[in-house]
Amino acid sequence: MPFLEGKSSTGRLGIDIHATAGKGDVGFCGYWTMEISTSKPVRIYPGMPIAQLIYYVVEGKVERLYNKKKNAKYSHQEHLPKESMMWKNFI
């Protein structure tokens, strides 16, 4: 299971990586949308490491993979990034 985390070195520059959705779903196949915010003006450069993916091993049986769920809103993306589809939630 992937987790997206900011790096402490970039956090010290005032760069925050994801405030809401840093955890990946088991079975998700597609593109992630990375959320970046800053507390002050800062420059980032191509190739500059600002985040890291951490993978945790899932033990046991996964009962429902994301890409097998009927209501998986972000599966089978053709383009990146994908806008919010929160309006499809059943409330």
Residues with active-site annotation: 35
Q: Which residues lie closer than 8 Å to 27 by C-beta, 6 or more apart?
A: 62, 64, 65, 66, 67, 68
Taking residue 10's Cβ as centre, other Cβ atoms within 10 Å add up to: 20
Q: Which residues lie closer than 8 Å to 2 by C-beta, 6 or more apart?
A: 23, 24, 53, 54, 55, 56
